[in-house]
Chains A and B, each alone.
Chain A
Amino acid sequence: MKNAAKDTVHSIHSKNPLAMFAQAPVGVSFETQQKKEDIILLLRAHVITLIPAILEIVFLAILPALVSSLNFLGINIFESLFPSQVFWVLLAWYIFVFGFAFYKFIFWYFNVYLVTNERIVDFDFKGILHKETAYANLTQIQDVTPKIIGFFHTLFHFGDVFIQTAASKPEFEFHAVENPDLVAKEILEQVRLEETEAPGEIK
């Protein structure tokens, strides 16, 4: 009973598509997934890391009101335009704000780290024109180090997990993930299980 209560990773199937710490997520797969390969953990950066982006979006959303009320340089741009023109300017602006918010969301949503029963996968979405995917087999993992440094990291219990590998990418970094200790423990557990399997076997 005690062990079952402790084993939170294997007892839950996460159905939340926005989860930042999803155990065996339902409805998620990836391009190169093998037949018996199961996703044990799907990780995203902690939702707290979105606060700067949310502040930027709020600032952009209230910027037209600020510009019109503060009267920058003694010129009120909205007074120099007809009301219909002001409408189009504001509409174009809020389309941009929506696009920016959507981009920030996509950026967070697709920066995903996966732990499967065969390997770890790092989907990096570093910018609009930069995406990267890295894989490392569990047997190539040499060292796993969870780190929680900083006030907010300690308060909300999130941090980085550094994984040294013998793969082509020597170090994987799971950035700002929730429960880094649990993630490290689970990776090491999967490595231990993988080592008991015959080469090429998938359980």
Chain B
Amino acid sequence: MPIETAGFGFLNLLTVGLGVKMFLILFLIFYIIFAFVLYRQVLTMCMKLPTLLSPHLKFVSVINIGIAVAVLFLILGLF
């Protein structure tokens, strides 16, 4: 196998990895914004219409933001 081909293959692998990392970071930043807006909506609706499920919904929406933020930091550090 020519040396140039092997070198380019390695470079491609790095480029793909870097591209995917950048994409995931952007994706998660937008997702965190979405999750935060969803949390605000849940808070507003739970205030307007309190039900037996309201505390659980608030909990799930907070956990949703927390997991997304945690995954973002893990990707920044480990990917």
- Chain B contributes a number of interface residues (CB within 8 A of A) equal to 36
Give the distance in Å from the alpha carbon of A103 to the alpha carbon of B60 in the complex.
11
Q: Is the CB of A18 within 8 A of B53?
A: yes
- Chain A contributes a number of interface residues (CB within 8 A of B) equal to 35
Give the distance in Å from the alpha carbon of A133 to the alpha carbon of B68 in the complex.
31
* A-contact bits for B60-79, CB 8 A (1 contact / 0 none): 11001001100100110011
* A-contact bits for B19-51, CB 8 A (1 contact / 0 none): 011001001100100110110011011011111
Contacts of B48 in A (CB 8 A): 30-31, 123, 133
Q: Is the CB of B75 within 8 A of A17?
A: no
CB-nearest residue of chain A relative to B53? Answer: A17
Closest chain-A Cβ to B18's Cβ sits at a distance in Å of 10
Give the distance in Å from the alpha carbon of A128 to the alpha carbon of B45 in the complex.
12
Q: Is the CB of A125 within 8 A of B45?
A: yes
CB-nearest residue of chain B relative to A30? Answer: B49
Closest chain-A Cβ to B9's Cβ sits at a distance in Å of 10
Contacts of A25 in B (CB 8 A): 51
Q: Is the CB of B78 within 8 A of A84?
A: yes
Q: Is the CB of B38 within 8 A of A103?
A: yes
CB-nearest residue of chain B relative to A28? Answer: B51
Which secondary structure dominates chain B's binding surface? helix
Q: Is the CB of A102 within 8 A of B24?
A: no
Give the distance in Å from the alpha carbon of A123 to the alpha carbon of B51 in the complex.
14
Q: Does A72 contact B (CB under 8 A)?
A: no
Q: Of A27, A82, A96, A129, which is within 8 A of B37 by CB?
A: A129
Q: Is the CB of A102 within 8 A of B34?
A: no
Contacts of A84 in B (CB 8 A): 78-79
Q: Of B28, B31, B49, B53, which is within 8 A of A123 by CB?
A: B49
CB-nearest residue of chain A relative to B50? Answer: A29
Give the distance in Å from the alpha carbon of A155 to the alpha carbon of B34 in the complex.
37
Question: Known: A95-B68, A128-B38. Contact between A81 and B53, CB under 8 A?
Answer: no
Q: Does A26 contact B (CB under 8 A)?
A: yes
- Interface stretch of the complex, out of A86-94, A140-148, A182-190: A86-94
* B-contact bits for A85-124, CB 8 A (1 contact / 0 none): 1001101100110110011001001101000000000010
Closest chain-A Cβ to B66's Cβ sits at a distance in Å of 11
**Besides A88-B78, A89-B20, A95-B67, 4 new A-B residue pairs in contact (Cβ under 8 A), listed by A number:** A17-B53, A89-B24, A92-B31, A99-B35
A to B CB contacts below 8 Å, 11 in the list: A27-B51, A31-B47, A31-B49, A89-B24, A91-B71, A92-B28, A92-B71, A99-B31, A99-B68, A112-B49, A131-B41
